[in-house]
A and B are shown apart, each in its own frame.
Chain A
Amino acid sequence: MTDTNNFDKNRLVNWFKLSSPSTFYPVAGKLIPFFWVLTAIFGLAGLWVSFFVAPVDAVQGQGYRIIFIHVPASWMSMFIYLVMAAWAGLGLIFNTRLSAMMAQALAPIGAWMAFLSLWTGAFWGKPMWGAWWVWDARLTSELILLFLYLGFIALQASIDNPRRADKAGAILALVGVVNVPIIYFSVKWWNTLHQGASVSLTKAPAMAQTMLLGMLLMALCFWMYTIAVGLMRVRAIILEREAHTDWVRQLDEVKV
């Protein structure tokens, strides 16, 4: 078996080499601080723009600033679901354990993002529309997305055999990905039928450039955060699942 750790020699990384948990573990470890730094940079810039650059909204006053975490959280919750399903699908097709572990690592963050989207949505809706919860199409779809995340996590938690849990979760994630547009469309349609033309929580008539910039920066911050936390969690998962392999026993932190 030839030397597998020749990243410095090869410019083009052979992705399949990375798919072994033993090679990925140290790589992930080196990448994590880098992503935390990016999270901090984007976060500080985003918060600066949200609070000190973006002007007061004519209609909603200062309360609209919640948009700077509500919209990025919604975007991330949907994006993470896609990425999670993609990793799970790759794991199913190529039978790689690490892809499935990656999907497993991303699920909780996605669920938290969906929760934050709902929470901030409620806190935005209360002062603006007078109710903690409205059956708005976006919020309702977000709620269903949270259910899909929770179902994925619950399924993986309840199957003892890890490989079976990976594959079952992958099928569930892929079925979910196909269903999310269908669910979104049907909920949107249902919303217009039963509520008529109501103001959508996320429709802002003319977004000031600064508002868009703020949302973009916060979205990037959440994205870097997701990668950082995802890599951290996947390292924990690797340790747990590969506990009895030689390379884990030889790790500095584990060696006695």
Chain B
Amino acid sequence: MSVLLAMIRRDLLLVMRRKSEVLTALFFFVVVTSLFPLGIGADTALLRKIAPGVIWVAALLSTLLGLQRMFAADYADGALEQIALSPQPMVLLVAGKMIAHWMVCGLPLVILAPIIGIQFDLDTSSLYILMGTLLLGTPVLSLLGSIGAALTLGVRGGSVLMSLLVLPLYIPVLIFGAGAVYANSVGLDTSGHFSLLGALLILALAFVPWVTAAAVKIAIE
């Protein structure tokens, strides 16, 4: 447990020294969501309808931007090899990195989302649902994305390739997350969506750390 916390603390410390990397990803989220009304027009009814999809897709894309950071810097300066060689279980170290990534890239999205939601004229209950789905969904995004980040470590054109690999895996989260907000806006029940999102989160937590640890080991060899 302390291994996990130590890893989280280390990553958060590194982020604090280079705040700009993280802030640019969040800024990207805000800019992209603002582009849609500029491109489509300010018709509030239309904006309310597209809001769940737009906000969720922007969340996906900005998570992808932040994923580069998870392993690349450590891989480049050799720290990742030291981490892999340490006697601590690799799974815990990798899980710590994922949690730190989520705290830095996913959690701020959850906090920013209501503000964006207001820009799209979503009503209050939909805003709560939006935050809830993002709260459950962004950890899954960080988890699944870490697989792509580990597989494409040090590969030429790795960041674009990572997006191609990871985005299909994100589709169920997108469907249930945006679907929940849409369902709420038309008055349908959203408990099914949340259960499925929760199930995806549990599945991801149960399997992905091991997969990512294996992928990191393969990348380091």
Chain A in direct contact with chain B (Cβ < 8 angstroms)? yes
Chain A interface residues (CB < 8 Å from chain B): 144, 147-148, 150-151, 154-155, 158-159, 163-164, 167-168, 171-172, 174-176, 178-179, 182-183, 185-187, 189-190, 193
Q: Which residues of B sit under 8 angstroms from A147, Cβ to Cβ?
A: 164, 167-168
Residue of A nearest to B218 (CB): A167
B164: which of A150, A164, A175 is its contact (CB, 8 Å)? Answer: A150
Q: Which residues of A sit under 8 angstroms from B183, Cβ to Cβ?
A: 193
Whether A155 contacts B152 in the complex (CB less than 8 A), given A147-B164, A150-B164, A172-B165, comes out as: yes
Q: Which residues of A sit under 8 angstroms from B152, Cβ to Cβ?
A: 155, 158
Q: Choose the segment among B70-78, B81-89, B102-110, B153-161 that binds chain A (4+ C-beta atoms closer than 8 Å).
A: B153-161
In the complex, the answer to whether A164 meets B175 with C-beta atoms within 8 Å is no
In the complex, the answer to whether B164 meets A171 with C-beta atoms within 8 Å is no
Does B151 make an interface contact (CB < 8 A)? Answer: yes
Q: Which residues of B sit under 8 angstroms from A183, Cβ to Cβ?
A: 168, 171-172
Whether A164 contacts B219 in the complex (CB less than 8 A), given A158-B157, A190-B179, comes out as: yes
In the complex, the answer to whether A158 meets B161 with C-beta atoms within 8 Å is yes
Residue of A nearest to B167 (CB): A147
Interface centre among B147, B158, B164 (most CB of A within 10 A): B164
In the complex, the answer to whether A171 meets B214 with C-beta atoms within 8 Å is yes
Residue of B nearest to A180 (CB): B168
Q: Across chains A and B, which 10 residue pairs bring their CB atoms closest together, nearest first?
A: A186-B172, A151-B165, A167-B218, A190-B175, A186-B175, A147-B168, A168-B151, A158-B155, A151-B164, A144-B168
In the complex, the answer to whether A172 meets B151 with C-beta atoms within 8 Å is yes
Q: Which residues of A sit under 8 angstroms from B169, Cβ to Cβ?
A: 175-176, 179
Q: Which residues of B sit under 8 angstroms from A175, Cβ to Cβ?
A: 147, 169, 211
Does B221 make an interface contact (CB < 8 A)? Answer: yes
Complex Cα distance, B155 from A174, in Å, reads 20
Chain B interface residues (CB < 8 Å from chain A): 147, 151-152, 155-158, 161, 164-165, 167-169, 171-172, 175-176, 179, 183, 196, 200, 207, 211, 214-215, 218-219, 221
| 10 CB < 8 A contacts A-B | A158-B161, A159-B155, A164-B219, A176-B168, A176-B169, A183-B171, A186-B196, A187-B171, A190-B175, A193-B179
Residue of B nearest to A191 (CB): B175
Q: Which residues of A sit under 8 angstroms from B176, Cβ to Cβ?
A: 186
In terms of DSSP, what is the predominant structure of the interface of chain B? helix
Complex Cα distance, B219 from A144, in Å, reads 26
Q: Which residues of B sit under 8 angstroms from A150, Cβ to Cβ?
A: 164
In the complex, the answer to whether A144 meets B171 with C-beta atoms within 8 Å is yes
B165: which of A144, A155, A174 is its contact (CB, 8 Å)? Answer: A155
How near does chain A come to B6, taking the closest CB pair, in angstroms? 27
B218: which of A164, A185, A186 is its contact (CB, 8 Å)? Answer: A164
Q: Which residues of A sit under 8 angstroms from B207, Cβ to Cβ?
A: 178
Complex Cα distance, B175 from A193, in Å, reads 11
Q: Which residues of B sit under 8 angstroms from A186, Cβ to Cβ?
A: 171-172, 175-176, 196
Complex Cα distance, B97 from A196, in Å, reads 42
How near does chain A come to B144, taking the closest CB pair, in angstroms? 8
Q: Which residues of B sit under 8 angstroms from A154, Cβ to Cβ?
A: 161, 164-165
Complex Cα distance, B175 from A182, in Å, reads 11
In the complex, the answer to whether A179 meets B151 with C-beta atoms within 8 Å is no
Additional A-B contact list (20), CB under 8 Å, known A155-B155, A158-B161, A174-B211: A151-B161, A151-B164, A151-B165, A154-B161, A154-B165, A158-B155, A159-B155, A163-B221, A167-B218, A168-B151, A171-B151, A171-B211, A171-B214, A172-B165, A176-B168, A176-B169, A183-B168, A185-B172, A186-B196, A193-B179
In the complex, the answer to whether B175 meets A189 with C-beta atoms within 8 Å is yes
Q: Which residues of A sit under 8 angstroms from B158, Cβ to Cβ?
A: 158
How near does chain B come to A88, taking the closest CB pair, in angstroms? 12
Residue of A nearest to B171 (CB): A183
Residue of B nearest to A158 (CB): B155
Q: Which residues of A sit under 8 angstroms from B179, Cβ to Cβ?
A: 189-190, 193
How near does chain B come to A99, taking the closest CB pair, in angstroms? 16
Q: Which residues of A sit under 8 angstroms from B147, Cβ to Cβ?
A: 171-172, 175
Q: Which residues of A sit under 8 angstroms from B200, Cβ to Cβ?
A: 182
Q: Which residues of B sit under 8 angstroms from A163, Cβ to Cβ?
A: 221
How near does chain B come to A127, taking the closest CB pair, in angstroms? 29
Residue of A nearest to B158 (CB): A158
Whether A168 contacts B219 in the complex (CB less than 8 A), given A144-B168, A183-B172, comes out as: yes
